[in-house]
Amino acid sequence: MPNFWKALSKPIFALAPMEDVTDTSFREVVAGLSDPEYLQLLFTEFTSIDGMNHQKGKIRVSERLLVSRSEKNVRRQKNIKLVAQIWGNKPELFHKIAREITAEYEFDGLDINMGCPVKNVVKNGCCSALINQPELAKEIILATKEATHLPVSVKTRTGVKSHDTEVWISHLMETKPAAIILHGRTQKQQSDGLADWDEIAKGARIRDQMDPGVLFLGNGDVQSVSQGLALTAKYGIDGVMIGRGIFHDPWFFNPEHQPPSKSERLSQLILHTQLFEENWGGKKNLNLLKRFYKIYTNDFQGAAKLRAELMEATTFAEVYRIANAAKFD
């Protein structure tokens, strides 16, 4: 199978993998609202290789890899690729689970999470902790590449307690991943402070020296397509990944779209709820969905009151009743 990364138009725009956010329902909403010129790539939620290897736990963990038929159709229409992101710290399990995912699912690529900063995860030697274990990190990447014909990318950070960008990226480049996505913060920073794009540029220059064929994306504080275009040009990178910026505007990847009306916003809220109910009704709590309602209920009169009502809803039917009534106020 050809490396899809090579065929992407530049600059590349991608939506970041986010826990309890980038499930199949939300990916479908974002893909449906996007201009495919400005969204080429989506990622799953973080998927634990240890969980996937657990006889009972696999059922629950594998939900992170669910791709609905309707999401697949929307992405196919717009030629948006989907990458499964996996995490852990055992090379032999990366090999085993990468092989299984490749055989059992229809993803376009695999991404290894070496960037999640959550303390409990790092304490167990996974994700950002691998920055301080470069030999193990390289073994993991090579074991994953060996197990699959899919392109393997790495999402990571600039360091653990302080920036160590050039040394760390040099280690990663030795394994020749398909792409590196670099978040411009250390693990210690979590989401605090501003992302350091000068550090991202340092990583890109190491890439330039070692193998220009490896794609290099920056991540951190990108709030608009125009900003993303400016950053790629200024720092000499191949694209950007957007995380929290999507919560400010679900139309993020459609910059020509006029500011959405109240009716448009609530129509998307209803659609998102319907997709969530179809995909997860009986499996996931409605409260998981409520974090999204704030992105659809703003910039119109009465938005705060409506948002408060939606937060009190206890059933899908109640959400539909409240949102439909508000559409025609």
126 is catalytic: no
Nearest to 260 by CA among 298, 301, 309: 298
Element (H, E) at 241: strand 239-242
> Which residues lie below 8 Å from residue 90, measured CB to CB, with a gap of 6+?
49, 50
State how far the Cα of 247 lies from the Cα of 136, in Å rounded to an integer. Answer: 35
Give the integer Cα–Cα distance in Å for 152 and 5.
Answer: 10
Active-site option among 18, 21, 101, 116: 116
Which residue, chain included where needed, has tokens 């060996």?
Answer: 146
Query: Helix H segments across the chain?
Result: 24-33, 49-52, 57-61, 69-78, 91-104, 119-123, 134-147, 165-173, 197-210, 225-235, 262-280, 287-296, 303-312, 316-327
Which residue numbers are catalytic? 116
